Amino acid sequence: MTTMVPALRMEELRRCSRRPALGPAPPGAVSLAMGEPDFPTPSPVIEAAAAALRRGDTHYADQKGLPELRAALASRLPAHPGRTWTAEDVVVTHGATAALASAVLAMIGPGDRVVIPEPAYSLYADLVALAGGTVDFVPLAPDLHWDLDALAAALPGAAMMMFSNPSNPTGIVHREEELKALGKLLDRSDTLVVSDEAYHRLVYPGHVFTSALEVESLRDRTVYVQTFSKTYAMTGWRVGYLTGPRAVVDAVAHAHRTYNGSLNTAVQHAALAALDLPDRVVDAMVDRYRQRREFVFTHVSGIPGLHLVPPEGAFYGFLRYDADLPSEAVVRELAEREVMVRSGAEYGPSGEGHIRISFAASEEDLRTGLARLVRYFGDERIP
């Protein structure tokens, strides 16, 4: 028996398959493409994993995650009037990627419509396509915050809305009033909100982060997705988690154990140690990102034909350029000049005419890469 895939669906799957799978920069090149902290994982985290292995914690863990880790995570969730968070409200996942995938695969089916304000992390649209849903892209306002009028037109009848805050790729921190406005738009609807808050600790002076779980009109419809990767420089450890309405959490837990099974046991003990790190460990990394952010803004400001809305959080610069070239061509030409960046088109239709750079790279790579990038745009692309 042959299964026929509709043409539009097939084209969407082909588009997903073209997402770049980036690895280390080739010899002589520098990468500003990866959203990966260049800092080492803090030593207490490594020591906790080693200790777990030595004492024999090498067997399957609870399918939802170690109860003690889930309890610790629950105790750190924003206060929810009328609900006491417990370990049963949390699912530990194979990074935020598996949390997002499990949420979409558990809750979205063929024909379900998902609203994604864009430019947005490309994984969101890929997951919706995988689940058989349809993506309704809604362009951002010129300041890269939400266009609330456009959202008001798109949201009725949507099964889900997905976003990151702070944002990948734009670096925008969505304000409390934006989140409250979203809650009003969704009043009396069944639309589920997936709030990816992976960069919640990476917010720069003058900006305030508000979790969707802190907004009364959103908290009962929000799937909150989190990871240890960015905050604790633990990208390779693959530890994420989520919470939300109990019925959704149970459905997500079923999807996650079906596709992934239980998470590495020793790694979960490492995650527990990460939660106990003093704030100064994370604050020191955030301060370095702040310095790199200022370095990026200083170096691209004043370059004719190159524009950057200052990042408010995360560690990305979403650069708009005036050159009449597709962003994928710009990425290829920059790679030939030995600096790797991401194509703006990867993040949605409005991303065309942009590239994304990461200042999670080392200061040395950032200095070298920006010099090559500025030379490309300043000397070669601007008449």
Predicted pLDDT at 80: 79
Burial group, residue 310, by CB count within 10 angstroms (0-12, 13-18, 19+) = middle
Predicted pLDDT at 24: 65
Share above pLDDT 90 across residues of the chain, in percent, rounded to a whole number:
86
- Closest by alpha carbon to 245, among 224, 226, 228? 224
- Structure-model confidence comparison of residues 380 and 132, the more confident one: 132
pLDDT in tens, 344-355: 999 999 999 999
DSSP letter for each residue of 14-65: HHHHTS----SPPTT-EE-------SPPPHHHHHHHHHHHHTT--SPPPTT-
CA–CA distance, 119 with 318 (Å, rounded to integer): 10
Burial group, residue 338, by CB count within 10 angstroms (0-12, 13-18, 19+) = middle
Backbone angles phi, psi at 147, to 5 degrees: -90, 95
Predicted pLDDT at 28: 84
pLDDT in tens, 300-341: 888 888 999 999 999 999 999 998 999 999 999 999 999 999
pLDDT in tens, 360-369: 999 999 999 9
The single-letter code of the amino acid at 353 is G
Predicted pLDDT at 302: 81
All residues at 6 or more sequence positions from 128 whose CB lies less than 8 Å from its CB, including other chains: 104, 108, 114, 116, 134, 135, 162
CA–CA distance, 339 with 379 (Å, rounded to integer): 16
Share above pLDDT 70 across residues of the chain, in percent, rounded to a whole number:
92
Predicted pLDDT at 14: 53
Q: What is the mean pLDDT of residues 56-78?
A: 96
Predicted pLDDT at 19: 54
Rounded mean pLDDT of the chain? 92
Rounded-to-10 torsion of CA 87, 88, 90, 94: 100
Rounded-to-10 torsion of CA 30, 353, 172, 138: -140
Predicted pLDDT at 4: 41
Helix (H, G, I), strand (E, B) or coil at 259: helix
Predicted pLDDT at 2: 37
Quickly state the pLDDT bin for 22 (edges 50, 70, 90): low
Quickly state the pLDDT bin for 96 (edges 50, 70, 90): very high
> Residue 216 gets which letter from DSSP?
H
Predicted pLDDT at 23: 61
Least confident of 5-14, 38-47, 61-70, 157-166: 5-14
Quickly state the pLDDT bin for 5 (edges 50, 70, 90): very low
Predicted pLDDT at 17: 46
Predicted pLDDT at 341: 96
